[in-house]
Amino acid sequence: MLWVKAFHIVFVASWFAGLFYLPRIFVNLAMVPADSHAERERLLLMARKLYRFTSLLMVPALVLGLALWGLYGVGRGPGNAWLYAKLALVVLAIAYHHACRSMLRSFEQSSNQRSERWFRAFNEAAIAIFAGIVVLAVVKPF
């Protein structure tokens, strides 16, 4: 079980590293002047590759988490309300991941209407989600 848990942590941390950096690319894309096509295309290429890679990291993170629950019984039984709160945050992280895809598409279609400041604030949400998941998994406050 410890190997599964260790790899689950590695993939979750890697997935979130992508979720931390992708909105930062969006900040830079929002700041690109309209006449700077080369810079825009370079940032779009980086964002596409990072989104794909991050999506690949999300899958084993989720599968290993399900294995911990289904095969090893982590979070089962009384006194495990922390797991339901953690799962709610995981669903929120998946929604955040898909929101990044939507934002990437708006940049690809040159239809983004959000400011670089908005993307800076959006970037902080991933940190809050990650912190909540870690605290719930480690501290198990309820």
Domain carrying residue 45: 2-139
Each residue's pLDDT expressed in tens, for the chain with a length of 142 residues: 999 999 999 999 999 999 999 999 999 999 999 899 999 999 999 999 999 999 999 999 999 999 999 998 888 878 899 999 999 999 999 999 999 999 999 999 999 999 999 999 999 999 999 999 999 999 999 8
Specify the pTM.
0.94
Number of independent structural domains in the chain = 1
- What pLDDT, on the 0 to 100 scale, is given for residue 79? 82
- The distance from CA 71 to its chain's CA centroid, rounded to whole angstroms, is 25
